[in-house]
A and B are shown apart, each in its own frame.
Chain A
Amino acid sequence: MAGYQRLDLNEVGDVTVVRFRDQKIVEDMNIQELGQELFRLVEADRRDKLLLNFSSVDFLSSAALGKLITLDKKMKVHGGALKLSNIRPEIYEVFAITKLNRLFDIKDDEADALAAF
């Protein structure tokens, strides 16, 4: 498995738990890299159960949301399941305003999300 610069990965059973190394996901170049790494998880590594744990993230821009939407589409194409957890209230507000809380399966914490696969 090639190295990931923006992500930390952890296997819990058959679920890949993904944590983000950036506290703030705003820089365009970082977001492009982040997108490539997330897409690689699905398309090259063929991981079909992904949990994105946002506990380390305290800021997310709309461009980063775009990458998550594209990831969700790719997961669906490959028949995989994607869940999000540990989203702090301000970031959840961004998901709620944009109604993306209806698109994504968002759980309060990692244990809830793992139990839901």
Chain B
Amino acid sequence: MPMAEEHWIWRCDCKIANDPGAGRQVLDELLERMNAEHWAQHDVYGVCLAMEEALVNAILHGNRLDADKRVHIDCRLAPELVRIEITDEGDGFDPSTIPNPTDPERLECPSGRGVMLIKAFMSRVWYNAKGNSVVMEKGREKA
């Protein structure tokens, strides 16, 4: 998907161990940068939630907790945009096959809400063809 050229003011491109704690360090730095750039708290909350959920999906469902696998995180911050790309080393999945967790008959199912929350809190979300890489963008909330 084509993307507009952005003036990135911060970037973190790294491969982390297949452990949520390792990803949280990158997330904390991103949130710190967003706060320093005076992003609205609702935006910061949404980015935090989306990245937490995407990391869990990559580590648990993509890499299946395999300690030999890695997760590639590419986070960038522009004055009006956050872009996060998270890629695991798993087989990928087809996001269109995820059932809607808000269907009344699925409402009591304890799993399957992460992808929905990512889409709700981020401005744009897309996956690569294999389904092992997600790109999430958040535009700054208009004052």
Contacts and interface: CB of A to CB of B under 8 A. Distances in A.
Q: Is B one of A's binding partners?
A: yes
Given A26-B52, A28-B56, A98-B116, A90 B108 contact: no
B9 to A, nearest CB: 25
Given A62-B117, A98-B117, A69 B53 contact: no
Contacts of B113: 62, 65-66, 98
A70 B53 CA distance: 19
Interface string B33-70: 00000000110010011001100100010000000000
Given A97-B117, A97-B120, A99-B107, A28 B20 contact: yes
Contact of B109 (A27, A61, A69, A99): A69
A73 B108 CA distance: 8
B101 A98 contact: yes
A65 B113 CA distance: 9
Main secondary structure of the interface of A (DSSP, over half): helix
Main secondary structure of the interface of B (DSSP, over half): helix
Interface residues of A, number: 22
B108 A103 contact: yes
Nearest to A97: B120
A99 B106 CA distance: 11
Contacts of A26: 20, 52
A90 B121 CA distance: 10
A67 B109 CA distance: 10
A70 B52 CA distance: 21
Contacts of B97: none
Interface string A40-63: 000000000000000000010111
Contacts of A97: 116-117, 120
Interface of A: 26-28, 59, 61-63, 65-67, 69-70, 72-73, 90, 94, 97-100, 102-103
8 contacts: A27-B21, A65-B113, A66-B111, A67-B110, A69-B109, A97-B116, A98-B102, A99-B107
